[in-house]
Amino acid sequence: MAETPPATPLVIAPNLKRRLSGVTATVVRLIPVQARMIAIRATGPGLPPELPHIPLIRAILMPRDRWRVWHARRNTEMALGLILRRLLRRRYRLLFTSAAQRHHTGFTRWLIRQQDALVATSDKAASYLERPATVVMHGVDTQVFHPAADRAALRRQLGLDPDAVLIGCFGRVRAQKGVDLLVRAGLRLLPDRPRAQIVFTGRITPDNRAFTEELQAEIRAAGLQDRIRFLGELPWDQVVRHYQALDLFAAPARWEGFGLTPLEAMACGVPTVAARVGAYETLIRDGETGSLVPADDLDALTGALRNWLDDDAARQAAGRAARAHVETRHAIEGEAAALVAIYRDLLARP
């Protein structure tokens, strides 16, 4: 139920990283939905001007008239919440969301023990916490991520081949994301499939420049530089449009915390081939909305991509099933409502 926002917010969602990341994307997409349910504001650098947010100094100097929730998603944000409550005596209930599927460092475990409540984005992430956590899986905004009305026209606008069978892989370009696996699967598959193409979007950091250049050299040696392309880091609205332009999405990561890109692709009616890492096994219905393959397995990845590339009817049916699956199970409103219920519980504590 929506409520009239009070003069000051009840929940602060800090975002202490300027560059776009998965955590930042979570804050940006969730806050507008949650703001319809409770008085919540983001705070931190580099946030979009249209996002409900307040300056960090205001969050630091929030009045002590009542308890509020400080919802952290990074170690730095947990640490700042502790400083605000213990040193500056601000009345914050501390909440932390963990997506990590690995053992935490000693400092992180200590920070986690100081929190009033914990959220994990998957059962596996919860298993690495030393305390009980509420599992709240990520969702996507199905009003933003939806199939294109005219995919061919959209591709022309984006400078993409309207007749291609287009595979996409979005996110930072690095080995952890399995970019090299997809390139090498493409080198095997594309010579015999003249319609097939692959596009990568995402930032290439200086430490991954040599990694990317080596892959581009392999692509050029195979004469496929016009069909396997790195588009670089795109504005967010352009990323959404590129999802809508795809026929097939690939997420061959070697490891992942949660991994939202398959949901975003599926919401756009695009089936996904993904490794069995992160939350992918929970998100993807193997054979129905895409395929799951073992991590770091080039042969399995190549085989799954081959099956979808070679069966247009099955691929299109899987795209329709993927959209329906996200609408039913992973709409962002469910994630927002589950988190707001936790906020209300924290605010109601004596």
First and final CA of the chain: distance in angstroms? 23
114 with 175, same domain: the answer is no
| 242 shares a domain with 127 | no
* Beta strand residue intervals within 103-158, DSSP E: 117-120, 134-135
Identify whether residues 95 and 156 lie together within a single domain: no
Distance CA 26, CA 257 (A): 13
- Decide if 47 is inside a domain: yes
Kindly report the pTM of this predicted structure: 0.83
The separation between CA 235 and the C-alpha centre of its own chain, rounded to angstroms, equals 15
Question: CB of 121 within 8 A of CB of 98?
Answer: yes
- Nearest partner of 185 among 284, 290, 277, 275, judged by Cα: 275
In a domain, 210, yes or no: yes
CATH number, residue 87:
3.40.50.2000
Q: How far is CA 33 from the centre of its chain?
A: 16
- DSSP, res 104: P
Q: Which domain holds residue 237?
A: 151-329
pLDDT value at residue 269: 98
Please enumerate in sequence order all residues whose Cβ is within 8 A of that of 76, keeping only pairs 6 or more positions apart, or say none. 16
Q: What is the pLDDT along the chain (350 residues), one digit of tens a residue?
A: 344 344 589 999 999 987 667 788 889 889 999 999 999 999 999 888 899 999 999 999 999 999 999 999 999 999 999 999 999 999 999 999 998 888 899 999 999 999 999 999 988 889 999 899 999 999 999 999 999 999 999 999 999 999 999 999 999 999 999 999 999 999 999 999 999 999 999 999 999 999 999 999 999 999 999 999 999 999 888 999 999 999 999 999 998 877 889 999 999 999 999 999 988 988 999 999 999 999 999 999 999 999 999 999 999 999 999 999 999 999 999 999 999 999 999 999 98
CA-based nearest residue to 96, from 46, 130, 67: 130
Residue 217, in any domain of the structure: yes
Q: Number of folded domains in the chain?
A: 2
Per-residue pLDDT at 135: 95
**Do 174 and 180 form a contact (C-beta atoms < 8 A)?**
no
Using CA atoms in the order 173, 178, 180, 185, what is the torsion angle rounded to 10 degrees?
A: -130
d(C-alpha 68, C-alpha 56), whole Å: 15
The two structure tokens encoding residue 78: 């947990």
